[in-house]
Amino acid sequence: MKKILAVFITALLLSACGKNEPPLPKDASAAETPAKVYNWKMVTTWPPNFPIFQTGVEQFAKDIKTMSNGRLNIKVYAGGELVPPLQTFDAVSSGTVQMGHGGAYYWAGKIPAAQFFTSVPFGMNAQGMNSWMYYGGGLDLWRETYAPHGLVPFPMGNTGVQMGGWFNKKINTVDDLKGLKMRLPGLGGKVLAKAGGNPVLMAGGEIYTALERGVIDATEWVGPFHDERLGLYRAAKYYYYPGWHEPGSVMELIVNKKAWDSLPNDLKMIVEKAADSTNVRMLAEFEAKNLDALEDLKAKGVEVLKFPTAVTDELKKLAQTVFEEEAAKDPGFNKVYGAFKAFQEKNTQWNAISESAYAEVLKK
């Protein structure tokens, strides 16, 4: 009897427990089974605590944790904490970590076309880049370009128009660039070389000392806020604008394709929207901090000067030559260059009668 009763009770328990469960709301499938928790790692190309760049990425991870109710936990490592900064691409591509943040142009050695997804000399500003990315086919091209590397890219931040750099002599003509040793990486450096200058590659941490000791004659960095923090105003007299070499640098989020595919739709959308949010807020933060830093730098006696039109006109022509040469060498570069150029031509026309025309009205 005891045995029979036990069996009966067990059977009753099994059936009743199911029936006693509270009804599940429709569409709330997350509640049906215990939610799977994803513990991800993310590496960046930025130094620890690097303001706006690294802090923006950390906020992104925090926001995703909140939005996902702890179901997607992203541990963020600054450059060098887990892998060296410039191994971010490989670490995400190989699946060592699931996510990375940096600039696509860092991978120009592997993928020359990647440069168009950050910024190119005389390219588009932040607003133009966003239009091209989201509604002009740019993001599709970027995904296509990264697909063979098992990566899914997203725009996630923008520096806005950068500054032209710090110089210890005035740049009155293109001839003043001849022989100039300037820290200027990437395509900008190639344009400088065409003008007779000597572009130098150098990590951020070395720039100040190199400039101060005359190892280099000039340098670009980011904009007033970051340049002031690096103390560049103590090592150079003249601060030139505009940053023709990086007029609207897009920061990238890269996600390992297999990791991405493993996410349920809600977490995918959460990542995408968090990246969009960082995209708009990072630019806003750059702008807000740059305008205060610009005032500071002026108060410190920095001479803020515009590159003469003859100089930027000449550099623009040389940039075309560089683009044509790169396009001839690499079909991927050529393809993206064509799409970028076509969009930019229309964008420049529209900008001329909207943003640019309006800015002229304000300046008067």
Find the binding residues for a second copy in span 29-48 (CB under 8 A).
29-31, 33-37
| 258 lines the binding site for a second copy (CB under 8 A) | no
CA dist 186 and 177 (Å) reads 17
| 355 lines the binding site for a second copy (CB under 8 A) | yes
Q: Which of residues 62-91 bind a second copy (CB under 8 A)?
A: 63, 66-71, 73
Nearer to a second copy, 200 or 275 (CB): 275
| 347 lines the binding site for a second copy (CB under 8 A) | yes
Could you tell me which of 223, 219, 191 has the C-alpha nearest to residue 207? 219
Q: Which of residues 12-31 bind a second copy (CB under 8 A)?
A: 12-13, 16-17, 20, 22-31
- In the complex, the smallest distance separating the C-beta of residue 36 from a second copy, rounded to whole angstroms, is 8
CA dist 227 and 233 (Å) reads 8
Q: Which of residues 146-165 bind a second copy (CB under 8 A)?
A: 160-161, 163
Residue owning tokens 């906020």: 59
Q: Which of residues 162-181 bind a second copy (CB under 8 A)?
A: 163
Nearer to a second copy, 93 or 130 (CB): 130
| 238 lines the binding site for a second copy (CB under 8 A) | no
The partner residues of 76 in beta bridges, in order of sequence, read 42
Helix (H) or strand (E) holding 78: none
Q: Which backbone phi and psi does 62 adopt, to 5 degrees?
A: -65, -45
The tokens describing 82, both together, are: 């887990």
Q: Which of residues 265-284 bind a second copy (CB under 8 A)?
A: 265-266, 269-270, 272-274, 276-277, 279-281, 283-284
Q: Which of residues 285-344 bind a second copy (CB under 8 A)?
A: 285, 287-292, 294-295, 304, 306-307, 309, 312-313, 316
Selected range binding a second copy among 84-92, 195-203, 237-245, 322-330, rule: CB under 8 A: 237-245
Q: What 3-state DSSP class applies to 251?
A: strand
Nearer to a second copy, 107 or 225 (CB): 225
Q: What is the DSSP letter of 22?
A: P
Q: How far is CA 209 from CA 167, 221, 234, in A?
A: 14, 14, 11
Report yes or no: 278 and 64 within 8 Å, Cβ to Cβ. no
CA dist 197 and 84 (Å) reads 30
